[in-house]
Amino acid sequence: MDLKDYFRRLARYHAWATRRVLDSVAPLSDAQWHGDAGLFFRSVHGTVNHLLVTDDIWYGRFAEQRSLQLPLDAELHADRAPLCRALLAAVDRWAGWIDTLDPARLDGELHYTRNQGIAVQVPFAPTLGHVFNHATHHRGQLSAAVTAMGRQGPELDWVYQLREEQAPPR
């Protein structure tokens, strides 16, 4: 498998796992959705907003060569349904962009400007991996929060998604 195919698979996992975690938080009451769940961004709402903010920031840096200046705790959507729709659209765009990516670009560097105005130059491929790894971290926090609320947490292991992709159609 080449590196571009690896990232294509990782992007599909990113979308799959995000759908699963959003399905798991969908039945939460408004109090559970907005309440302090002990997460870095406090609530399920704050964490889902953070996932959208960071997906938008990183997609802008990679695919659009622009550096969005957004606080990491920005509330892009106050209402749950538009927030979840926006996050699903955000995670879905990665696989299509990776399809257009010149494989040689993966050996290059990514240049962007941080929120504080600092110019950054980092290796392209490992930083792209960071995008998906970062989301995995916060999806894990959401899974733990759902479990702490007495609900079944989603199964998010990548191997489950890989097996689903290989399963014959029913």
Residue 45, CB half-sphere, CA atoms under 13 Å: how many? 18
Report whether pLDDT(111) > 90.
Answer: yes
Give domain status of residue 89, yes or no. yes
- Residues above pLDDT 90, as percent of the chain: 94
Contacts for 132 with CB less than 8 Å, ≥ 6 apart: 10, 11, 13, 14
Give domain status of residue 169, yes or no. no
What is the residue range of 64's domain? 3-163
Residue from 51, 53, 104, 57 nearest 76 by CA: 53
Give domain status of residue 130, yes or no. yes
Grouping H, G, I as helix, E, B as strand and the rest as coil, residue 18 is: helix
- Please count the structural domains in the chain: 1
Q: What pLDDT digit, counting tens, does each position of 115-150 carry?
A: 889 999 999 999 999 999 999 999 999 999 999 999
Give domain status of residue 144, yes or no. yes
pTM of the predicted model over 0.85: yes
Give domain status of residue 170, yes or no. no
Q: What is the CATH number of the domain that holds 81?
A: 1.20.120.450
